Amino acid sequence: MKILVTGAGGFIGGHLVKRLLHLGYEVKCADVKPVDLWFQVHEQCENISIDLQLYENCLKVVDKDIDGVLNMACNMGGIGFIEWNKAKCMISVLINTHMLLACREKNVSKYFFSSSACAYNKDLQNENFISGLKEKDAYPANPEDGYGWEKLFSERMCRHFNEDFGMDTKVARYHNIFGPYGTFDGGREKSPAALCRKIVQAKIENKKDIEVWGDGEQSRSFLYIDDCVDATLLLFNSDITGPINIGSEEQVSINEMISMIEKISDYEVNKVYNTNMPVGVRGRSSDNELILKSLKWQPKLTLSQGLDKTYEWIYDSIKNRYNHTSVFRVS
């Protein structure tokens, strides 16, 4: 099979391409970033830098010999980015819209859309350590402004392309995916990568204080990237359409995650709380009943095991920067 992966230069997209190649697929890769800025570049693929917000560009990348599309492309980041860039996040709806239209035009019937737990009703997430969110909890609709609305709207479009045109659309709601070969600085990073980076830098510079957004008691569940790829491909090759949760049920507070990283790094820090920064909903976690029943899938790695791998990669990346520059600072 030949698979097109959009957003292939991003975090999840890069890992998906690697796995698909390992499984013997032919893979075509597209991303808006210049290829030399992709997190992972696989030379055996056709790698294209192109803006998929434009319909004519979607038509260019969707060949008639494409058997399926994994659409991972969107403008997104951690809570700071999505809170401060709501219009940019909303504009990503053009990517899904035009990719669906291009697939229909080229008779590509198998299509995966990467949605997010940000599509869930915010009113159900006002407490720490909430019960896991079930797929039905997205309605009545009240998702996170900007990014969440774009995801929910795009989910509906996939549903209607399935109903009206017979396209085999798959929708997964990702819950805080993390791991190596992704953003850990610059403003788009998510909390596991951000906290690993802060503790790595504190350790290297022999400092104690790290900034923590909010009071650190907000809770989440986090899923390691390898488990995410496993579940994604199971869904893609199944008869399930979704939406379906791909996440972990292991909830922690941000403070608890910092303690885990301190243990991994063998370095204790002093948490300096900044309550003026965005933190998103108070609590969020995945309910995995549906995916366990439908696909017999559950995570293999604990949060601590995933953090261990992520911390090691970020430590090596930052140490390498220190060794090759006279001054190194990350925002």
139 pLDDT exceeds 70?
yes
Nearest to 60 by CA among 22, 105, 12, 126: 105
Q: What integer pLDDT is reported at residue 324 of this predicted model?
A: 59
Q: Which of 318, 34, 36 is nearest to 189 (CA)?
A: 318
Percent of the chain predicted with pLDDT > 70:
97
Q: Say how far apart CA 134 and CA 120 lie, in whole Å.
A: 9
Residue 331 has pLDDT above 60, yes or no: no
244 pLDDT above the threshold of 90: yes
Q: How far apart are CA 68 and CA 236, in angstroms?
A: 9
Is residue 147 part of the annotated active site? The answer reads: yes
Residue 43 pLDDT > 60, yes or no? yes
Q: CB 164: neighbour CB atoms within 10 A?
A: 9
Using the predicted structure, report yes or no on whether residue 32 has a pLDDT greater than 80: yes
Count of C-beta atoms within a 10 Å radius of residue 306? 26
Which pLDDT does position 76 carry in this prediction?
A: 87
**What per-residue confidence (pLDDT) applies to 328?**
32
pLDDT digits (tens, 9 = 90+) for 186-237: 888 999 999 999 999 999 999 999 999 999 999 999 999 999 999 999 999 9
In the prediction, which pLDDT does 183 show? Answer: 93
CA dihedral 57, 14, 86, 330 (to 10 degrees): -130
Give the pLDDT of residue 329: 33
CA–CA distance, 109 with 35 (Å, rounded to integer): 28
Strand order in the sheet with 244-246: 46-49, 26-31, 2-6, 68-71, 110-116, 168-174, 244-246
Measured CA to CA, the distance from residue 249 to residue 264 in angstroms comes to 22
pTM of the model as a whole: 0.94
Calculate the alpha carbon distances from 308 to 224, 260, 320 in Å.
11, 9, 18
C-alpha closest to that of 55 among 88, 100, 10, 13: 100
d(CA 71, CA 136): 23
The pLDDT, as a whole number, for residue 325 is: 46
- As a whole number, mean pLDDT of residues 93-117 equals 97
Alpha-carbon span 51 to 136, nearest angstrom: 33
93 burial via Cβ count (<10 Å: 0-12, 13-18, 19+): middle
The residue from 111, 147, 174, 181 that is catalytic is 147
What is the average per-residue pLDDT within 26-55?
97
Q: Domain ranges in the chain?
A: 2-178+224-246
pLDDT in tens, 276-296: 999 999 999 999 999 999 999
What per-residue confidence (pLDDT) applies to 330?
32
- Mean pLDDT of the residues in the chain: 95
Angstrom distances, CA of residue 29 to CA of 225, 252, 290: 19, 35, 31
For 143-198, what is each residue's pLDDT tens digit? 999 999 999 999 999 999 999 999 999 999 999 999 999 999 988 899 999 999 99
Which of these CATH numbers, 3.40.50.300, 3.10.105.10, 3.40.50.720, 3.30.420.60, describes 2-178+224-246? 3.40.50.720
